[in-house]
Chain A
């Protein structure tokens, strides 16, 4: 069975079980490997993509659910907010091992799209689902604030 959807602004299709998680369709069938497998149970956020512009864990999203919808991955995410987040990430060298970072970046873009000037609590809440085992959290927080142009220390 074929599932059709928009992927990074272009038409895409998957021929197979519609229960297949979007993560594996992206990685194993469509060759977009920036989206990572970390846990498979929506606990780590390494697989975060945007579904119709909102953060979504692709590891627990059956591909059938995205039929006719727009999926954006780290490879295709663009626009002013995306560029600001990526630039902020590189400017202060957020990544260590780097494996979780595409998911972190996608979640941060999703946050700033919804809340252009997030508070520390907003950041805590929006990013709580993204684990970084290297614990680059101090810099993730800083990069989000830098991208948003928000100043000030944590309360």
Chain B
């Protein structure tokens, strides 16, 4: 088995240490983390009977902390209310993501990668408690059972806490017996999330909430264009603001230190900076779109090909030739990027909601000029990410480290990005253009499909380049459009152009699928209409994967697609897409809103993510994915204006979906015994094409450009 639930971990939990910690109690966690016996496993059982799960992934809303707790509690047969969680320290040997080789999460992998590891961790703990009870009572282990946190044999009963010390001295079973699915008591059922209460009453601690004695607040004035640098700073006006303490240049701009955030932000705004724009990105979005769409008219680097798409298209009876435009998108997590960094011995203590704990700590320590081994990450809840906290170059953490270092570590430094810095600071979903030529033969079957994708690579030039770019092909850019893309199309060609810009780009909830699903699902819908076929039946005849067909049939069934009358002025649109090994189909009921944009009344969603560990979290992620995807399909656009300046500086211009625009959502989860896969991202890709397909039915206009609010969408 993996290195979990070992003896030292059990001892750590039985040494009189207060481990009944809950996340909002930062002090209790700090106490546990700084104990002589450091947590080096996933399960700890205290003499007080509490079971603490050391959670290795960041928790920013997708629910893995509850998911992992569910898995461990189930294998242990623990009582739900004895479970506690704490976040793991930055330690790759113990807590690496098994799919990445380092700590971190992404690609909706939290449950997918740790499912067996957590089951083993829980099962080993259970086996040791059983063995301890068997020894104490002089009965064979087979005569001992566990249910709801109580170990028993006949009339004898004991809680986990009473057995923990005895269990701690036993050998750790290397291959504990796992439950068969029919014995699951929590998996597949709905239990209260571990963090709903503190996140409701304001007590949950986020990095933004960390306060240390003597702490100063830093705000960074960033350049007005990507790639610009500081030429000269006049700090007099900033320093004159009451509460401003100091001003220092840092690589990403100029840092202002103050006694509170307000003074720091005002100080940053008051700086008079002469910027060197000679190496800056000065093109506007409009110019870049023009260049990208010109590139899309040439074949590009071939990603894959089968049959002869060119010949098939030349001979096609009817054709579509469409160019699609997708803008830069900001993630806009509610909590902007933030860090608190304080000197601690020969190293530093870093408070963060870190998504790549070890890589980010190494980068922060590198910039701070302190040893990683002497430094500590104190992990907190993070207020959303959607990809934003996963910058391969660790931009935000290293900026904070530069702020702390420039201040000489004279005090703990808290760096909270302003919303303006968050939205105008780059690390966007790449602007992307697709061109698709697709055609039908005389019989109405798809004759050929030729697609070219144009964007800046997310991973090129980052530490992830070797992982993400193979043989010149950027996997993130074409995922969902390449051979996983579901439909049986005989003559197919996919090409790709990697573009260059100083605008930093990043994974954005569902990454390449944000645009590839839109193109695939709107073009297939149009082809089926041209062929006179039903959107659901036509897809079912073409889908490669039975699980994709399964969710499509389910979504059609629960929405009554094609089987019921739809209210006047409304239409149903459908889309199905596989991403991150999960399958999702959605049907959207849409009308033309008073503002001329789509009004989405209801979405029916079917998801197949293997074994449903927490059905209610799966439903919540489908609801959230639909809302996130819909909000950006309607309004989301980061625009570089003339000279390359970002136009959307706050939420007044970067519009979010608001409550009145949120459709009702009905979710069906496919019953499955496949291994569990992720749900954080897969709910996003189908919603925009489902709405666009309904929109084409309503208005006769195919949608070629997002967001809808941009206008000129056909």
A139 to B242, CA, bound (A): 43
A33 to B262, CA, bound (A): 15
Is B200 a contact of A131 with CB atoms below 8 Å? no
Is A135 a contact of B662 with CB atoms below 8 Å? yes
Q: Which residues of B contact A141 (CB under 8 A)?
A: 659, 662
Is B381 a contact of A43 with CB atoms below 8 Å? no
Query: What is the number of contacts between chain A and chain B, taking CB atoms within 8 Å?
Result: 190
Which of B192, B200, B333 is close to A133, meaning CB atoms less than 8 Å apart? B333
Majority secondary structure of chain A interface residues (helix, strand, loop or mixed): loop
Which of A73, A75, A93, A138 is close to B193, meaning CB atoms less than 8 Å apart? A93
Q: Which residues of B contact A132 (CB under 8 A)?
A: 334, 627, 659
Is B650 a contact of A43 with CB atoms below 8 Å? yes
0/1 per residue, B331-344, Cβ < 8 Å to A?
01111100000000
Which of B63, B334, B616, B624 is close to A100, meaning CB atoms less than 8 Å apart? B334
Q: Taking A20-B260, A41-B651 as contacts, is the C-beta distance between A93 and B616 under 8 angstroms?
A: yes
Q: Which residues of A contact B242 (CB under 8 A)?
A: 16-17
Is A39 a contact of B195 with CB atoms below 8 Å? no
A149 to B205, CA, bound (A): 31
Q: Which residues of B contact A36 (CB under 8 A)?
A: 206, 208, 334-335, 383
Q: Which residues of B contact A94 (CB under 8 A)?
A: 196, 200
Which of A39, A97, A98, A137 is close to B659, meaning CB atoms less than 8 Å apart? A137
Is B192 a contact of A138 with CB atoms below 8 Å? no
Q: Taking A31-B211, A133-B384 as contacts, is the C-beta distance between A124 and B627 under 8 angstroms?
A: no
A27 at the binding interface (Cβ < 8 Å): yes
Is A38 a contact of B196 with CB atoms below 8 Å? no
Q: Which residues of B contact A75 (CB under 8 A)?
A: 201-203
Is B662 a contact of A43 with CB atoms below 8 Å? no
Which residues of chain A in 29-45 are interfacial with respect to chain B, using CB atoms and an 8 Å cutoff? 29, 31, 33-41, 43-44
Which residues of chain B in 646-689 are interfacial with respect to chain A, using CB atoms and an 8 Å cutoff? 650-652, 656-660, 662, 664-665
Is A43 a contact of B627 with CB atoms below 8 Å? no
A96 at the binding interface (Cβ < 8 Å): yes
B272 at the binding interface (Cβ < 8 Å): no
A38 to B207, CA, bound (A): 13
Is B652 a contact of A24 with CB atoms below 8 Å? no
Instruction: Specify the chain B residue showing the minimal Cβ separation from A38.
Output: B334
Which of A39, A40, A96 is close to B61, meaning CB atoms less than 8 Å apart? A96
B355 at the binding interface (Cβ < 8 Å): no
Instruction: Specify the chain A residue showing the minimal Cβ separation from B651.
Output: A43
Q: Taking A28-B261, A131-B334, A133-B628 as contacts, is the C-beta distance between A37 and B200 under 8 angstroms?
A: no
Is A40 a contact of B419 with CB atoms below 8 Å? yes
| Band of interface residues on A | 35 or more
Instruction: Specify the chain A residue showing the minimal Cβ separation from B683.
Output: A135
Q: Which residues of A contact B616 (CB under 8 A)?
A: 93
A131 to B658, CA, bound (A): 6
Q: Which residues of A contact B656 (CB under 8 A)?
A: 44, 131, 133
A155 to B253, CA, bound (A): 51
Q: Which residues of B contact A71 (CB under 8 A)?
A: none
Q: Which residues of A contact B135 (CB under 8 A)?
A: none
B179 at the binding interface (Cβ < 8 Å): no
Q: Which residues of A contact B626 (CB under 8 A)?
A: 135
B458 at the binding interface (Cβ < 8 Å): no
Q: Taking A31-B211, A40-B265, A131-B651 as contacts, is the C-beta distance between A124 and B202 under 8 angstroms?
A: no
0/1 per residue, B157-197, Cβ < 8 Å to A?
00000000000000000000000000000000000110111
A31 to B211, CA, bound (A): 8
Q: Most chain-A CB neighbours within 10 Å: which of B60, B63, B198, B335?
A: B335
Which of A27, A34, A96, A97 is close to B335, meaning CB atoms less than 8 Å apart? A97
B623 at the binding interface (Cβ < 8 Å): yes
A99 to B61, CA, bound (A): 9
Is B631 a contact of A37 with CB atoms below 8 Å? no
0/1 per residue, A1-14, Cβ < 8 Å to B?
00000000000000
Q: Most chain-B CB neighbours within 10 Å: which of A28, A37, A131, A134?
A: A134
Which of B209, B217, B381 is close to A97, meaning CB atoms less than 8 Å apart? B381
A49 to B659, CA, bound (A): 19
Instruction: Specify the chain B residue showing the minimal Cβ separation from A131.
Output: B656
Is B243 a contact of A90 with CB atoms below 8 Å? no
B710 at the binding interface (Cβ < 8 Å): no
Further 14 A-B residue pairs, CB within 8 A, beyond A97-B384, A131-B651, A132-B627: A27-B209, A28-B261, A31-B211, A34-B201, A40-B650, A44-B656, A75-B203, A93-B617, A96-B61, A99-B335, A102-B202, A135-B623, A135-B662, A138-B665
Q: Which 10 A-B pairs have the closest CB atoms?
A: A135-B627, A34-B202, A99-B383, A98-B199, A97-B61, A96-B61, A74-B202, A124-B660, A33-B209, A137-B662
| A residues lining the B interface (CB < 8 Å) | 16-17, 20-21, 24, 27-29, 31, 33-41, 43-44, 46, 73-75, 86, 89-90, 93-102, 105, 123-125, 127-128, 130-141, 153-154
